[in-house]
Structure 1
Amino acid sequence: MLSALLMLTLSVSAEPTVDGPSVTIRGTVVDENGAPLPAASVVVEGTTIGTGTTSDGHFTLQLRHSNPVLRISFMGYQTQRYKVTDKTQNDIKVRLTPSNNQLNAVVVTGSRIERPLKDVPVVTRIISARDIERINPVDLTQLLQYELPGLQFGYNSMSQTEEISYQGMGGEYVVFLLDGERISGEGADHNIDFSRFNINDIERIEVVRGAASTLYDSNALGGVVNIITKNANRPVMANVSARYAGINGQNYSLQAGTRQSRLSTLTSVGYRQRDSYVIEEEKGKKMTTVNPDGSQETEQYTGIPTTIHGYEIWNVSQKIGYSFTDHLKAEVKAGYYHNQQAHRLGETYHRIFKDYTLSGRLNWIMNKNHQLNFVYQFDRYDKNQDTIRGGTGNIYSNRMHVGRLNYSGHIGKHQLSAGVEYTHEYLHHYFMPDSGSASRYQAAAFLQEEWQLTDELTIVAGLRADIEKLYHFHLTPKLTLMYRPWKRFTFRANYAEGYRSPSLKELYQEYDMGGLGMFTLWGNPNLRPEKSRQYSASIEYNHNGLNTSVSVYHNRFRDKISYAGMDNGTRDMQYINADKARTMGVEIMARYRWAAGVDLMGSYAYVNDYEETNGLNTSYVRPHSLTFGACYRKTLFNVDWTAALNGQWTSRLRTNTINRDGSYYYVTYDPRTMCNLNLSARFLRGITAGFMIENLFNYQDKSSDRAVQVPQKGQNYVATLQLNLADIFKW
C-alpha cells in the first residue's frame, strides 16, 4: 500500500527537469553596516547547487537554468531570499540584517525537511554554533549538560565510559544520530560511546523530545539527538584549533576543504589526550540501612576511590559531495575513530576502541515540490584488549548496515514523507556464551502527513511499521497538533507510541560477572518488546528578542526490560519484563537577546521518575535541574570581544537500593552547581584567542557521585587558540 501510494505520487506530481546552457551568477553578501560576510551560505532553491562567500563576501554560482531564487543565510542573521533576473545576475548585492531570535534557524530533524524552527510542529531544541562558541565545551557530554536540563551523565565504573539519563530515561531510549543516521556500538551499558565525537567537528545539535518514532526509529521513546557535523562553508576553508585544558587534557584539530557550485569537500583530523585522575570518597558520608523489622542502622559510607581513566583519541573524517546536474547530487562520507584508554590499576592490558564508518547519499530534486533520496550507511564499532607484552584480542564488535529510500513532497497544503528502511546488525560480545556472536535484521516502512488545515492549525499524523524475524510486525502511530491563534503564541500537543525490541545482548548474553563464578548475568530469549505511550503539550511565546516556552510530558511503559534476581538459589540475575513504569515532567525555557549584544538564557526541568521495586523508588534521577547562561559581545578596537558565564544546577537526590533479604539502604546525593567563565577575542585577521575557568566555584565531587554524574576533580583553567587561515590569507 505504501509503495503504491509513493509510486502514484511520483507519477502524478514529478515534473521532468532539463538542464540547459550554463549560467554564471555573481554577487556579494554584506552585513547591516556594509562589511563583507565571509562564509555566508548561498543556496539555489529547488536545486542541489550552493556555495559560500569568500573573505570579501563574494560568491559565484554555475547553473544550467536562469532566473533562480537564492536563499542566503549566515549565523546570527535573518535568512533572505533573492530573485535573480537577467539584469542582476552579475551584480547581486545582498544585505543581511541581524536576527534577534534563533527561531529563524533552519532545522531538518522531525520531518527531514528544512524549515524555520518556529514552524516545526514537534517540540525541537537547537544547540547552535553560537551556543557551542559561548560554552566552549571540552566534549559533547559537557555541551549537552549545559544546554539540556533534565539530562544526567553518570560514570560506569566497569566500562569507564559515560551513560546518559534524559527526562528519566536511559541510553536505550534516546536515539543518537550522526548527520541523520544511526550510530552503532556500545560504550557503557545501553549507551553509545560519547567520546566518538570531536567537539570541533560539530556544527549544531537538534534535539527532538519525546517519541519521534515515525521517521526515525521506534526505539526513540525518550527522544532523538541529531548531531550535525560541519561542511565546507566557503570556496577555500582551512581552520586550525588548539586547546590546552589542564586536567582535561588537550585537543588539536585541522579542517580543510572547498565549497563550489557543484563540488564540496572537507577533510577533518583531530587529536585529543587526557591523563587519568582519581576522585576520593568524602569521609563522614552516611548510608542508612532499614531492616525488614523496621529498625535502622546508620554507618559511614565506605566507597572506594574512583579512577577517571585517561585516553588518547584520533578522529579522521572525509566528506565529498558533487552535483551531477542542478537536481541530482551524490555525497560520500568516511570516518575513523581510535581511542586508546589507559589501563586499569593492576591490569596488564589497555583497551582500544575503534570505529569505521562509510556512507553514501543520493539526492534527487525532481522539482520544487518533490524530492527523493537514497542512503546507505555502514558502521563498525570494535573494542580490543592490547596486552603490555604484546598481542591483541577483540572482545566486542558491533556492525550495522542501513539502507533507506525516503520521499518528501508538497501537494497543496499537504506535506508528505514516506519511505522504507532495512537494517542488518551483527554483534560479537564477550558477554555472549564463549564470546560468541548473534545477528538480526529489521525492516520498516513509514508514512507521515503534515496537513495545514488553516493558517493557524497544522496536524501531523504518522504511522511506522516495524518488521523483524523474532517479533514479526508492529505498528506505531503518532499524532501532533500545532495551533497558532496569535502571531506570538504557539501551542503544540503530541501523542506518540514507542516500541523497543530487546537488544541482542538482552536476548542472548551469559556473562560470569568478574570471572570468579560469584554470579552470572543472563539474557532472556523470551523477552517481550517494550511499549510506551507519551502525551506532551507545550506553549511558546515569541516576540522580538524574547522566546519562552513551557512543556509538560507523561510517559507510560509496558513490559519495561530490567534486571531481576533469579529464583534458583543463586545470586544470578536475568533480564525480565518488569512491571509498568512511568516518567513525567515539566520543562521551562527562556532566551532573551538584546540589541546591545547581550544574550540571556535559562532552562528548568522537573523530572518525576518512578522505578518501583518492592514499593520503593530506586530511581537515580535528580528531580530538579537548571541551566543558565549570560553572554556579552562587543566590537572594540576592531576586535570582537566575548564574555560568557554558563552554569548548571542539580538538586539533592535520595535513592534506595534493595537487598535480597528484604532490607534496603538509602544514600543522599548533595545538590551540585557547576559554572564556567569563558572569555575570547576574535581579531579581524582570523585569529581567535580564549581563556576559560572551568568549575568556577571549585565544586569537589565524591567517588560515590559517579552513579549520578561524571565526577570532577575541581577548578580548571583552559586556553584556546583558533586560526582561520582563509581569513588570514584573504581566501
Structure 2
Amino acid sequence: MLLGVLSTLYTTAETGYLYENNENDNATTRCFKGVVLDENGTPLPGASIVVIGTTIGAGTNTQGEFTLSLRDKGFPILRASFIGYTPVEYKIQNNEHNNIVIRLKPTQSSLEEVVVTGTRTEKPLKDAPILTRVIGQKEIQALNPMDIETLLQYELPGIQFNYNSMSKLPEITYQGMSGEYLLFLVDGERISGEGSDHNPDFSRFNIDDIERIEVVKGAQSTLYASNALGAVINIITKSANRPFTGNVNARYGNNSGQKYTVSGGTKQNRFSSFTTISHRRRDTYTISDDKETERTVINPDGSITIDKSANSSTIRGYQIWDASQKFGYAFTDQFSAEIKGTYYRNKRDNATANAKTNDIFSNYSVNGKLKYLFNVNHRLDLSYIFDSYRKDIDYFVAGYTKKNYDNFVQTARLNYTGNFNDQHTFTAGLEANLEYLKHYMFKDSTNYNQQSYVFYVQEDWKISEKFNLIAGIRTDYHSQYHFRMTPKLSVMYRPVELLTLRVGYAQGYRTPTLKELYEEYDMGGLGMFTIHGDENLKAENSQQFSLSAEINKDIFYASISGYYNKFKNKITLAYLDNIEDGKSMPDMKYMNSDNAESISMEAIARVKMDCGLMLQGSYAYVHEKEEYKGYNLSMTRPHSLTFNASFNRKFGKVNTSVSLNGQWSSKLHTYSYYSVDNTITEYNYSPRTICTLNTSASFPRGISVGLGIDNLFNYKDKSADYGIQLPQQGIGFIGTVSINLADLFRL
C-alpha cells in the first residue's frame, strides 16, 4: 500500500501545478539569488528562506546570501525568518533573479514563532488556539544545562523530578501528573523504552541536538492518543540551517559532568544533511545526611512513635555516546523526503563499590517522512518510525552481557491538511501502531505485543479575525480494548489586539501498558513480595476543562491558565491483603481505582526591554488529593516558581550575556501508608531554592566561551528527600567553549 501511495505521489508531483499561472508542464529551472539583512543592513547568517507552496528552501551563509532553484514558471513568494525577528513574505517580481534584498526587523515578542504540536499544523504561536509553551534556543543557551531534567525544571513551574530508589533513575511529575500521563515526542513521533517506572529514559535526549521544545498542557488524546492525558512535550531536533553548518561544543562541570559534541551539515536548494555526534559522562557520587531526620509514625491504636534515621543516596554515573543523521531531498518543487537515524548507548555505573555488573541502555531508531504539496493550500504527509530500546546487564568481570529488557514501537501515519477559503483548515489522518515488549518483570521474561489503528479528523475554523474554533475527534481500534472515540473542542477569542482568551474541553484516554497488564515480578528475587499485573484492567478516561488569558503588548507579555481534570478508572498500584509464610510484605497489584481529580493553574509574566534586559517569572499551583483515612498521600508540592533575568549587550564586535535562573518549591506536608503494620508516617519537606548563574561572550569568527556557577547558593538536599526531588550535592562550576566552523572559515 505504501509503495502504491509513493508511486502515485511521485507521478503527480512530476506533472502537478504549483501556481495558477503555469502555462504547461514543461517547467524549466530558474535560479534566484539574494541576501537577508537586519534593520541596520547587517547580514543575517542562518536565516531560513522557504518558497511558499513548495518543499524548496535554503539557508543564508555568513554573508547572509541564499540561492534557490525552481522548476516552475510562476512568480514565487518567499518567506524569510530568523530567531528574534518578525518573519517577512517577499513576492518575486518579473525578471527579478539575482538582486533580491529582504530586510527583517527585530520583534519584542516570541509569539511570531511557528509551532506545530497543538494542532499538527503550522501556526504562529499567537494564533494557536491551544496555549503552548516554547523553550527555544535562547532559553537553552542562557541556561546552558547538562541534561533535559535541569532544563525543564528551570523553565516549567510545577515540574518535579524525583529519584527512584529501585531503578536509580529520575521520574517526572508535572502539576500533579506523573510520567504515565505525559507524552514525550521527538520530532512529533513516539519513542520506545522505559527508564524508571512509566518514565522515558531522559538521558536519551541530548541537549546539544535540541532546537526547541514545545509543551502543550492538558489532554491531547484526540491527536496523540494514549499517555497524552496530562501534557505533550515535543522535542524538536536540529537541522542544517546554512549552506555549510559546523559546530564544536565542549562543556565541563566539576559536579554535573562533561559533554562534547561535534555537528555538521549542509542546506542546499534541494538537498540537506545534518550529523551530530556527542559524548557525555558523569561520575558516581553519594549524598549522605549529616544528622538524623525525625518522622512521626501514627500506629493503628492511635499512639505516636518517633522514627529517627540518617540516610545516604548514590547517584549513578554514566558514559553516553549518541549520534544522529538527517538527510533531506526535494525531488520536485512539491515532493520531498526526509530520513533520520539515531543511535544511543549509555553505560551506567553500578551504585555498589565492589559490583561486578553495569547497566547498558541502548536505542536506535529510523524515521522516514514524505511530503507532497498539491498546491499552496493542500498537503499530504506520510511518515514511518521504528524505535527500539533495550537494557542489558554487563557482567564485565565474566565477560558477557544479558538482555534484560527489549521494547520497540512502530508507527505509520498518513496525514492530510487542506486550507479552504483562508477560513477552514481541515486535518485528517490514518495511523497504525505496533508495540512489542520483552521484560524481566514478566513471568519467564516472556514478551507481549499490542496494536492500535486510528482515524482522526480536525477542523480549524477561523470564524472571524477575533474568533477561532478547533473541533476534533479520534477513533481508536485497540487489539484488546477495541473501539473508542475521543473528542476535543477549543475556542480562541481576541476581543482586542493585546488580549487573547482561550477555553477548551478535551477527553483523555489511556489504555493500560503491557507491564500493567502482564507483570508478574518477584521483587528483589527473594520472595519478599510479588507485583502482579491485571489482564482485566479497564482503560483510563479523563475529562479536562481549561481556561486561559494572554496579554501581549510591546515589551510586556503575561498569561494565566487554569485546568480541571476528572479521571475515571485511574490505574494505581495497590497492596493486597495476602501476607503469607516467608513473605515480609503483602503482594501488590495494578487496579482501577475510584474517580480522581486535580486542579492546577499557571501564570507567566515577561518583560523584554530594548536595552537588552529580559525579566521573566512563572508560578504554578497544584491542588491534588490522594487520601487514605483522611490523610493526604500526595507527593506534589502545591506551589512553585521559576524566574529568569538576562542581560545581553554588544561591546564592539563582542556579544556578551549574563543570565540568572532560579527555581523555588514550597514546603510540603504529607503522609504515607505502610500496609504491613497499618501505620501512617508523617513527612515534612522544607522549601527549596536552586539558582544558576551563566555568563558568555561571543567573539568574531564564531568563537564563544562561557562560565557558570550551578547551584549558586550551595544548596544541599537531604538524602532522605530523594523521593520528592533529585538530590543536589552543592555548588558546581561550569566552563564551555563553542566554535562555529561556518563563521570561523566564513562559509
Q: TM-score, normalised by structure 2?
A: 0.95
2:326 counterpart letter in structure 1 = K
1:484 maps onto 2:494 in alignment:
yes
Match of 1:411 among 420, 424, 429: 420
Question: Where does residue 374 of structure 1 map in the other structure?
Answer: 382
Question: Where does residue 287 of structure 2 map in the other structure?
Answer: 279
My pick for the range that moved more, 392-401 or 282-291, is: 282-291
Match of 2:588 among 573, 588, 591: 573
1:517 maps onto 2:527 in alignment:
yes
* Runs (5+) with no aligned partner, structure 1: 1-13
Question: Where does residue 723 of structure 1 map in the other structure?
Answer: 739
Secondary structure of the residue that 1:103 maps to in structure 2?
coil
Question: Where does residue 618 of structure 2 map in the other structure?
Answer: 603
User: Does the CA-based 8 Å contact 1:493-1:536 persist in structure 2?
Assistant: yes
Map Cα deviations across residues 675-710 of structure 1 (whole Å, 9 max, x no partner): 011000001210000000000000001112211111
What's the CA shift for 1:296?
A: 1.9
Question: Where does residue 231 of structure 2 map in the other structure?
Answer: 223
Question: Where does residue 704 of structure 1 map in the other structure?
Answer: 720
My pick for the range that moved more, 338-347 or 311-320, is: 338-347
Give % identity.
49
* 1:141-540 matches, cutoff 5 A: 141-300=149-308, 302-345=309-352, 346-387=354-395, 388-412=397-421, 413-540=423-550
Map Cα deviations across residues 281-337 of structure 1 (whole Å, 9 max, x no partner): 24132211112232222232x253110000000011100000000010000000000
2:714 counterpart letter in structure 1 = N
Question: Where does residue 694 of structure 1 map in the other structure?
Answer: 710
User: Does the CA-based 8 Å contact 1:330-1:362 persist in structure 2?
Assistant: yes
Match of 1:69 among 77, 96, 101: 77
Secondary structure of the residue that 2:579 maps to in structure 1?
coil
Distance 2:365 2:627 in 1: 40
Distance 2:569 2:629 in 1: 17
Distance 1:189 1:434 in 2: 20
Question: Where does residue 21 of structure 2 map in the other structure?
Answer: none
Distance 1:462 1:186 in 2: 30
User: Does the CA-based 8 Å contact 1:19-1:326 persist in structure 2?
Assistant: no
1:724 counterpart letter in structure 2 = N
* 1:6-21 matches, cutoff 5 A: 16-17=17-18, 18=25, 20-21=27-28
1:53 maps onto 2:63 in alignment:
no
What's the CA shift for 1:246?
A: 0.9
Match of 2:116 among 84, 96, 108: 108
Number of positions where the alignment pairs a residue of Structure 1 with one of Structure 2: 717
What's the CA shift for 1:115?
A: 1.7
What's the CA shift for 1:450?
A: 1.0
1:561 maps onto 2:571 in alignment:
yes
Distance 2:202 2:52 in 1: 36
Match of 2:653 among 638, 650, 669: 638
What's the CA shift for 1:347?
A: 2.9
Match of 2:554 among 544, 547, 570: 544
Distance 1:531 1:236 in 2: 49
In structure 2, relative to structure 1, the CA distance for the partners of 1:443 and 1:615 (3 Å cut) is farther
In structure 2, relative to structure 1, the CA distance for the partners of 1:728 and 1:261 (3 Å cut) is same
User: Does the CA-based 8 Å contact 1:244-1:250 persist in structure 2?
Assistant: yes
Map Cα deviations across residues 91-136 of structure 1 (whole Å, 9 max, x no partner): 0111111110111111111122212100000010000111111111
Secondary structure of the residue that 2:224 maps to in structure 1?
coil
Question: Where does residue 695 of structure 2 map in the other structure?
Answer: 679
Distance 1:515 1:385 in 2: 16
User: Does the CA-based 8 Å contact 2:297-2:681 persist in structure 1?
Assistant: yes
Match of 1:132 among 140, 147, 155: 140
Map Cα deviations across residues 627-675 of structure 1 (whole Å, 9 max, x no partner): 0001100000210000010000001012211122432001111111010
Question: Where does residue 5 of structure 1 map in the other structure?
Answer: none
Distance 1:113 1:453 in 2: 18
Secondary structure of the residue that 1:33 maps to in structure 2?
coil
Secondary structure of the residue that 1:696 maps to in structure 2?
coil
2:630 counterpart letter in structure 1 = G
User: Does the CA-based 8 Å contact 1:19-1:325 persist in structure 2?
Assistant: no
User: Does the CA-based 8 Å contact 1:242-1:721 persist in structure 2?
Assistant: yes
My pick for the range that moved more, 514-523 or 451-460, is: 451-460
Question: Where does residue 36 of structure 2 map in the other structure?
Answer: 29
In structure 2, relative to structure 1, the CA distance for the partners of 1:493 and 1:358 (3 Å cut) is same
Map Cα deviations across residues 60-117 of structure 1 (whole Å, 9 max, x no partner): 0011124211111111111111111124321011111111011111111112221210
Distance 1:409 1:613 in 2: 51
In structure 2, relative to structure 1, the CA distance for the partners of 1:610 and 1:282 (3 Å cut) is farther
User: Does the CA-based 8 Å contact 1:675-1:694 persist in structure 2?
Assistant: yes
Q: TM-score, normalised by structure 1?
A: 0.97
In structure 2, relative to structure 1, the CA distance for the partners of 1:19 and 1:636 (3 Å cut) is farther
What's the CA shift for 1:615?
A: 2.9
Distance 2:390 2:679 in 1: 41
Question: Where does residue 9 of structure 2 map in the other structure?
Answer: none
User: Does the CA-based 8 Å contact 2:292-2:310 persist in structure 1?
Assistant: no
Question: Where does residue 9 of structure 1 map in the other structure?
Answer: none
My pick for the range that moved more, 209-218 or 546-555, is: 209-218
1:36 counterpart letter in structure 2 = P
What's the CA shift for 1:15?
A: 7.0
Question: Where does residue 622 of structure 1 map in the other structure?
Answer: 637
What's the CA shift for 1:351?
A: 0.3
1:591 maps onto 2:606 in alignment:
yes
What's the CA shift for 1:443?
A: 1.1
What's the CA shift for 1:53?
A: 0.4
* Runs (5+) with no aligned partner, structure 2: 1-14, 19-24, 581-585
User: Does the CA-based 8 Å contact 1:176-1:226 persist in structure 2?
Assistant: yes
My pick for the range that moved more, 615-624 or 549-558, is: 615-624
What's the CA shift for 1:466?
A: 1.1
Map Cα deviations across residues 545-564 of structure 1 (whole Å, 9 max, x no partner): 11101101111111111111
User: Does the CA-based 8 Å contact 2:146-2:257 persist in structure 1?
Assistant: no
2:398 counterpart letter in structure 1 = R
Secondary structure of the residue that 2:291 maps to in structure 1?
coil
User: Does the CA-based 8 Å contact 2:180-2:199 persist in structure 1?
Assistant: yes
Distance 2:294 2:564 in 1: 34
Question: Where does residue 6 of structure 1 map in the other structure?
Answer: none
User: Does the CA-based 8 Å contact 1:175-1:217 persist in structure 2?
Assistant: no
2:533 counterpart letter in structure 1 = G
In structure 2, relative to structure 1, the CA distance for the partners of 1:19 and 1:466 (3 Å cut) is farther
1:275 counterpart letter in structure 2 = D
What's the CA shift for 1:469?
A: 1.8
Question: Where does residue 127 of structure 2 map in the other structure?
Answer: 119
My pick for the range that moved more, 102-111 or 653-662, is: 653-662
User: Does the CA-based 8 Å contact 2:503-2:546 persist in structure 1?
Assistant: yes
Distance 1:404 1:563 in 2: 34
2:461 counterpart letter in structure 1 = W
